[in-house]
């Protein structure tokens, strides 16, 4: 089958009836890709009480939305969601399918790809259409990036983290076609959702923080890491990390920044005791000002930031903390 003019799909992601920011970001990028291919953008939106999101999705660039609004879809269920998406795909034959690299997308995308017997590229940092009309999916690797294509199978599938693509400027008054997906959507007996427990994140959320501090292996030990934690708190900054900090047990996995973690877009980024590996740095490319502290003057991180400080962070951070405390005391006394 010739898929040249078939649509580009985005699988919407929502939690508790709230549309996640990655969805309009992917719709906006899909719109750019679709304009190159002279085709349409279509979105699959599943859940309950989610019909209010259609206006925002259309404003981001969608032409058609398949809406499954049903109690059976209220909570994400991997088998049910996979069945719905695979059935729709076999009926409408999208040439490209994009999902967010979220807790849902990281599980759902490979399930759908396996059922459709097609390829999947995870954690993409860029998506482009080449001269042959094939999707080029770029991922970081070996200190740079590599391009992956899926020339034979369709749909071409990719997951992308929140923040990789900018949120599109809403096009007010833009509409499109809404297609209702009819149930019932019956979950199997193999998997049952018994309870959802929502935890409030500690500190400033990384995705909204204007200043982000990321710590790495250079912290040395838990005492060194706690100094970085204190610095983030006193600066009212979001606290992130690299993989070594997670492996050492200093930080939680959901605070890891990079290819397999979060993408952040702060005004200011401060990397402390990290080497600047590509897997981490791709997560902070949206920062306006980037600063790094590392004891190795030849560290790759200094080639990627605006300001570099060559010093052992275990010596530098305590001095910085003391300076900030004195400054705040002076500001308070002057009021």
Where do the domains of the chain lie, and which CATH numbers do they carry? Answer: 8-180 (3.40.50.620), 211-333 (3.40.50.1220)
**In the prediction, which pLDDT does 121 show?**
92
pTM beyond cutoff 0.85: no
Alpha-carbon gap, residue 221 to 239, rounded angstroms: 17
CB count, 10 Å around CB of 147? Answer: 12
DSSP string, 115-168: HHT--EEEEESEEEE-TTSPEEEEEEETTEEEEE--SSSSSEEEEE-TTSSPPP
Among candidate residues 259, 257, 246, 247, the one with its CA nearest the CA of residue 207: 257
The kind and range of the H/E element at 66 are strand 64-69
Q: Please tell me which residue, 328 or 199, carries the higher pLDDT value.
A: 328
19, 58 Cβ separation under 8 angstroms: no
**In the prediction, which pLDDT does 166 show?**
84
Question: Is the confidence at residue 144, as pLDDT, over 70?
Answer: no
**In the prediction, which pLDDT does 168 show?**
87
Q: Please tell me which residue, 262 or 97, carries the higher pLDDT value.
A: 97
**In the prediction, which pLDDT does 142 show?**
61
pLDDT of 283-306, one tens digit each? 887 788 999 999 998 998 998 899
What is the average pLDDT across 16-33?
A: 91
Q: Please tell me which residue, 23 or 192, carries the higher pLDDT value.
A: 23
What is the average pLDDT across 11-19?
A: 88
- With tokens 């409030």, the residue in question is 200
Residue 1: which pLDDT band, with cuts at 50, 70 and 90? Answer: very low
Alpha-carbon gap, residue 328 to 207, rounded angstroms: 26
- E strands, 224-334, in order: 238-241, 268-272, 289-294, 307-310
Alpha-carbon gap, residue 185 to 281, rounded angstroms: 41
Q: Which residues sit opposite 11 in a β-bridge? A: 44, 99
Going from the C-alpha of 181 to that of each of 24, 38, 54, 109, 237, the distances in angstroms are 21, 26, 14, 20, 43
**In the prediction, which pLDDT does 85 show?**
94
Share of the chain above pLDDT 90, in %: 51
Question: Is the confidence at residue 64, as pLDDT, over 80?
Answer: yes
Question: Is the confidence at residue 9, as pLDDT, over 70?
Answer: yes
**In the prediction, which pLDDT does 30 show?**
94
Average pLDDT over the chain reads 87
Going from the C-alpha of 69 to that of each of 46, 86, 138, the distances in angstroms are 6, 17, 34
What is the average pLDDT across 223-245?
A: 92
What is the average pLDDT across 12-29?
A: 90
**In the prediction, which pLDDT does 26 show?**
95
The kind and range of the H/E element at 108 are helix 103-116
Alpha-carbon gap, residue 256 to 99, rounded angstroms: 20
């Amino acid at each position: 089958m010739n898929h040249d003019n078939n649509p580009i799909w985005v699988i919407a992601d929502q939690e508790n009836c709230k549309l996640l920011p990655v969805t309009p970001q992917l719709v906006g990028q899909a719109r750019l890709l679709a304009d190159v291919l002279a085709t349409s953008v279509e979105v699959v939106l599943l859940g309950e009480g989610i019909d209010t999101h259609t206006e925002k999705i259309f404003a981001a660039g969608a032409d058609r939305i398949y809406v499954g609004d049903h109690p059976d879809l209220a909570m994400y269920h991997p088998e049910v969601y996979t069945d719905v998406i695979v059935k729709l795909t076999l009926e409408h034959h999208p040439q490209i399918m994009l999902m967010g690299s979220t807790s849902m997308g990281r599980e759902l995308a490979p399930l759908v790809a396996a059922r459709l017997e097609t390829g999947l590229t995870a954690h993409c940092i860029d998506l482009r259409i080449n001269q042959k009309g094939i999707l080029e999916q770029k991922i970081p690797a070996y200190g740079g990036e590599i391009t992956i294509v899926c020339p034979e199978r369709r749909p071409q599938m990719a997951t992308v983290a929140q923040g990789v693509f900018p949120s599109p400027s809403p096009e007010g008054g833009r509409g499109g076609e809404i297609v209702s997906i009819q149930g019932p959507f019956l979950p199997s007996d193999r998997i049952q959702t018994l309870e959802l427990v929502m935890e409030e994140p500690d500190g400033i959320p990384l995705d909204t923080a204007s200043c982000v501090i990321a710590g790495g292996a250079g912290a040395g030990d838990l005492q060194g890491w706690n100094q970085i934690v204190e610095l983030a708190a006193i600066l009212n900054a979001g606290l992130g990390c690299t993989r070594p900090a997670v492996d050492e047990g200093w930080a939680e996995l959901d605070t890891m920044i990079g290819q397999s973690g979060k993408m952040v877009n702060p005004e200011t980024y401060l990397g402390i005791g990290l080497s600047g590996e590509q897997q981490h740095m791709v997560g902070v490319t949206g920062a306006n000002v980037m600063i790094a502290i590392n004891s190795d003057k030849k560290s790759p991180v200094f080639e990627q930031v605006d300001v570099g400080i060559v010093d052992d962070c275990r010596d530098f951070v305590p001095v910085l903390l003391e300076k900030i405390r004195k400054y705040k005391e002076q500001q308070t006394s002057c009021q």
